[in-house]
Structure 1
Amino acid sequence: MKEDSELVIGGIGFPEFSARGCVQKLIPLETGRYFRTINGKLRYAGQQERKYRTVITCQDKTVPDFHSVKSDQEFQVQCISRLWQRVPREAERDGDSIVCSLKRDPVPGSPLVHQGGKIIIPINVSEKNVSIPIISGNVFITYRPLLRMHLINFETTYHEWDLTWGWKMLLDEV
């Protein structure tokens, strides 16, 4: 599958020609609730760290091996969809560099630093920490997250005359 797509889901078999041109949505899961106090102030009760649901769809010549998946199986998903994170102005400095901690583990080799629509290099990535040269202005880091997820549901479709398969999977972050 590596030749077909950047999408990698450990534990699911992907035959050749089963994952070209995938589309992935990352959807924040509701992990808390907003409520009003007796004084009318809006408050939030729940986890501060956001969890994600993902929907991945694809049309290709074959489909992944969904039928070998156990209902309680956990997967490590190397997402194709990217997260964006602003580098705070008060980021920690290390000599001639700014160090920013990513909110999620990145897929190795995926972090990129953007400023003014341009990619800035060199960057140094160590686990969740990204070191970049000190620059002014709005700076963003984008990366493909590495998420631990459970398969909630899947479906497959087949177009008889075109001889093509389609598939869709729904996963929730652990």
Structure 2
Amino acid sequence: MDTNTLMRTLDGTLTCTTLYGHKYRSAITGQDRMPMALEGLTRGKSLWIDSLVHFTCPLTPQQETQHLSRTPVPGSVCLHTPEETVTLHERGADVSFSEHDVPEDSFLSYRPRLLMAVTNITITANEWQHTEEWQLDLEEI
């Protein structure tokens, strides 16, 4: 049975087969006249990837700390309140913002740094345009 599949039980209840500790997949693509540096890059190789997508965490009023599910990219953690956005200094996945007031409708955002494994590499060369297109498929370890 695949994970993240929606299924109905015999009594008609919709359930999801998601496993605890969800892992992410990503695809990085590019096109250039110079070839991608693929020396030593093979399926199964581990890479640290700084995500472009921000994760967000809702906050409760007067909350002072938050444990993030992934390690953040340095300098990417921001506290968003209705009045302002403040970049926070974090130490790993634990973020403290006790010196800031946290009103209602506040949230935290950050870009996660993910340890991922290469699952596939695709390269397509266009001889007439002298370009190479490539795609790197990754899955979180």
With the length of structure 2 as denominator, give the TM-score of the two structures: 0.76
Structure 1 position 109 matched with structure 2 position 75: yes
| Count of residues in Structure 1 that have an aligned counterpart in Structure 2 | 138
Give 1:92-171 correspondences, 5 Å limit: 93=63, 98-116=64-82, 118-121=84-87, 123-132=88-97, 133-160=100-127, 162-171=129-138
Structure with greater contact order relative to length (CA < 8 Å, sep ≥ 6): 2
Matched with 1:88 is 59
- Between Structure 1 and Structure 2, the one with more strand by share is 1
Unmatched 5+ stretches in structure 2: none
Percent of aligned pairs sharing the same letter: 26
Q: How many angstroms apart in 1 are the aligned matches of 2:22 and 2:35?
A: 30
| Structure 2 residue matching 1:113: 3-state secondary structure | strand
Matched with 2:36 is 64
- The RMSD of aligned alpha carbons is 2.7
With the length of structure 1 as denominator, give the TM-score of the two structures: 0.64
Q: For residues 160 and 40 of structure 1, do their structure 2 counterparts lie closer, same or farther at Cα, with a shift above 3 Å needed? A: closer
Matched with 1:9 is none
Unmatched 5+ stretches in structure 1: 1-29
Output one character per residue of 1:17-45: Cα deviation in whole Å (capped at 9) or x when no partner: xxxxxxxxxxxxx6344443443333334
